[in-house]
Amino acid sequence: MNATIRKIGNSEGIIIPKEILDRLGLKAGDSIDLAEEVGKLILKPLDDDFTRQLEHADRFMDKYKVALKKLAE
């Protein structure tokens, strides 16, 4: 399937066909992971549960950074 890069405000982007979004269970506002692999762009849906767990871990580590540093010694 072909897509054209278009100007969107001060950025550029592509329009993803509705059929593909439906197959992947994506909708406007969902987050995706964008990666580059040897001249290819790879788009993958983000796992919201995993992202939420990472945010919680970041808050935990920030809150207890002194204790974690002591434990790491």
**Residue 52 identity (one-letter amino acid):** R
Angle of helix 48-63 relative to helix 65-72, nearest 10 degrees?
80
Structural domains of the chain in order of their starting residue, each with its CATH number: 6-72 (2.10.260.10)
Q: How far apart are the first and last CA of the chain?
A: 54
Residue 37 β-bridge partners: 40
Structure tokens of 40? 């290819």
d(CA 32, CA 3): 18
**What does the pLDDT profile of the chain (73 residues) look like in tens digits?**
788 999 999 999 999 999 988 888 888 888 888 999 999 999 888 877 777 788 888 899 999 999 999 999 8
Matching residue, tokens 């290819």 = 40
